[in-house]
Amino acid sequence: MKQPLSTHFKIGFLGAGQLARMSSLKAFELGMQVAVYSDRPENEPVQFMTPFSFSGSFDDIDSMVEFAKSCDIITLENEFIDSEILRAVQDQSGTPIYPSPDSFALIENKLIEKQTFEKAGIPVTPYALINSENDLNSFGEKHGWPYLLKSSKGGYDGYGNETVRNFKEAKKAFDKLGGNNSREIIAEAFVDFTHELAVQVARNKTGHVVYPCCETVQENHINVAVKSPAQVDSKVSQRAQQLAIAATEAIDGKGIFAYEFFLTKNGELLMNESAPRPHNSGHYTIEGAIASQFENHVRAVCDLPLGSTELRKPAVVMINLLGAHKRDAVVENTEKALAESDGHLHSYGKLQSKPGRKMAHYTLLGENMDETFEKARNLTEKIEI
């Protein structure tokens, strides 16, 4: 591979959402060029940040090979592509892809992911592959109702998930998710948790770094905020960090990875989901940590030394700013948030706002978590998108 800090070195992102956008900003800081591959028909904001923009579906190998050939290295910004396709793109283009197709194959859908981490001794939420209506019933009997049905591939932000309270709902959800149409469906037990935690790990041949264990705050099953560090016992945080490192090693991961955990009422940690890319739970690191998840994403896949994950202040809060309207995007009433010292507004530059769509986020650094959280909520409550 060409030296990453040399003329015309180009990093390619498979996927063109806000994660590619924020990683690109860090690639630019290191003097790199950026290319993006989008599977969307509409303009993606990151396409306004580079002259090197490619489009095509995530199963169009030829298009992806053409894209990859124009780059020195390729990385992922989502998990919607099959590992076999990634492998073909890598082989046919000669351009390395990190996380590698081999690593990705070990977590590419929710079933394989759980099996991989179970095998590595990492506790996961109870689950089962659902092959038949009978399985729907027996899962409910074994783990209790309600439980969750998920398509094993392609879901995000709760899309592709259904909560089912009884057999009738389970059958309906199974069909809705495509279970009768040969989509792979898994059931997951509801976990009685006190906290949802997340940890990011960056790893490459120079070693690994782990971010503090943070806490995601949900309202109506939507992640509305992140607090770092998590307000839990330090033993729990350390354990979550250890599990996250172990998981990254289990897949021989090169890049940035995010892991979500449930902390149960019994104090047990169960891994819920992983992501082979930057993650919403780590957006707070842009200002909150010395080196952000996006910077370490770029460094990790390029085998550059990794940056410090230390927090800049004792309390860091990130608030997700979601669309409220279906309209041309405009972020309104930001004056107070912008004027606040150590408050940082990031808008993703999306052209259209939609109710619930992730449009922007706001990070506030402070000395005390409760105060910082309350202040961040107050500063952003009038923001309307």
Q: Is 312 helix (H, G, I), strand (E, B) or coil?
A: coil
Residues 189-228 that bind a second copy (CB under 8 A): 206
Classify residue 384 by burial, with Cβ atoms within 10 Å: 0-12, 13-18, 19+.
middle
Please name which of 284, 260, 278, 279 lies closest in space to residue 270, comparing C-alpha atoms: 260
CB of 51 to a second copy, least distance (A): 5
- Containing 20, the helix (H) or strand (E) segment is helix 18-29
Q: Which of 60, 133, 342, 384 binds a second copy (CB under 8 A)?
A: 342
- The stretch among 127-135, 173-181, 251-259, 350-358 that binds a second copy (CB under 8 A) is 350-358
CB 379 within 8 A of CB 301: no
- The stretch among 21-29, 150-158, 233-241, 258-266 that binds a second copy (CB under 8 A) is 21-29
Residue spans of beta strands (DSSP E) within 83-172: 127-130, 147-151, 161-164
Using CB under 8 A, count the residues that bind a second copy. 52
CB of 121 to a second copy, least distance (A): 31
Q: Which of 23, 50, 152, 241 binds a second copy (CB under 8 A)?
A: 50
CB of 309 to a second copy, least distance (A): 9
- The stretch among 25-33, 100-108, 126-134, 141-149 that binds a second copy (CB under 8 A) is 25-33
* Residue 324 structure tokens: 């409220």
Question: Which amino acid is located at 270 in the chain?
Answer: L
Q: Is 189 helix (H, G, I), strand (E, B) or coil?
A: strand
Q: Which of 351, 355, 368, 381 binds a second copy (CB under 8 A)?
A: 351
Helix axes 167-176, 133-143, angle to 10 degrees: 130
Within 13 Å, how many C-alpha atoms sit on residue 247's CB side? 36
CB 378 within 8 A of CB 50: no
- The stretch among 122-130, 162-170, 336-344, 373-381 that binds a second copy (CB under 8 A) is 336-344
8 binding a second copy? (CB under 8 A): yes
Residues 286-325 that bind a second copy (CB under 8 A): 290, 299, 304-308, 310, 312
The residue ranges that bind a second copy (CB under 8 A) are: 3, 5-8, 21, 25, 28-34, 45, 47-53, 206, 290, 299, 304-308, 310, 312, 328-332, 334-335, 338-339, 341-342, 345-352, 360
